[in-house]
Amino acid sequence: MMRRRFRDDAGFTLTELLVVTLLMGMVLGLVYVVMGAVSSTADSLEARTVATEENRQMMDQVTRELRQAQEIVEGEGVFLRAQPRQCAFYADVDHDGVPELIEYRVQGQTLYRSEARSQTAVPPYTFGQPGAETVVAESMSSGFTGNVFTYYDNEDPAGEVASGHPEDVSAVKLRLVTGKTVNRKTAFVDLSTWVKIRSVHNTID
């Protein structure tokens, strides 16, 4: 009896299986790379969005209080201290008619705020010890060592005020460089703004 030979037996040869496996591996690898790139881009965008929003909130807080700064002694300016990474100024932030002494200072990657209340309700004001410091920003870029606060006079054009002369300050340039990390992707945001001292005449637009 002769055995039939079937040329169209069902199934794959070993070579065909190897080729299919190789192609599937290449496709899956490509999908993994594309998904990784998309995820990385999304993480970077999210980190930048969060960093931008947090930076704006911090800048709004500092700007709002600086705009309320006021002199407590005529001719001596609104600042008690005016340093590149630290400032202390008088402002009635609680709107009770009596100014507080507000201080911002940078230490490491953190921006702190403290507030001291006046012990007298009328001039001359005397201020007690400041309350506990609060953290305004704890994600400042370690690579940023420049001025957080830069001070200007009311000349035209405005000139930078030398350290040790807070009475001459009529405007402040505020700069914050902060970062945010999302799934190991870090984005840094560098924002700056001008703040007029409303109680002091100045010509800065």
User: What pLDDT is attached to residue 37?
Assistant: 63
CA atoms within 13 A on the CB side of 169: 33
- Tracing tokens 């002494």 back to the chain, one arrives at 101
What is the mean pLDDT for each group of 10 consecutive residues in the chain (205 residues)?
54 78 81 69 85 90 94 92 96 95 95 96 94 91 92 92 89 93 88 85 38
Q: Domain spans of the chain?
A: 36-196
User: What pLDDT is attached to residue 203?
Assistant: 34
pLDDT digits (tens, 9 = 90+) for 96-117: 999 999 999 999 999 999 999 9
CA atoms within 13 A on the CB side of 135: 9
Tokens of 196: 């007029």
Burial class (CB in 10 A: 0-12, 13-18, 19+), 81: middle
Tokens of 92: 């009635």
User: What pLDDT is attached to residue 47?
Assistant: 85
User: What pLDDT is attached to residue 116?
Assistant: 97
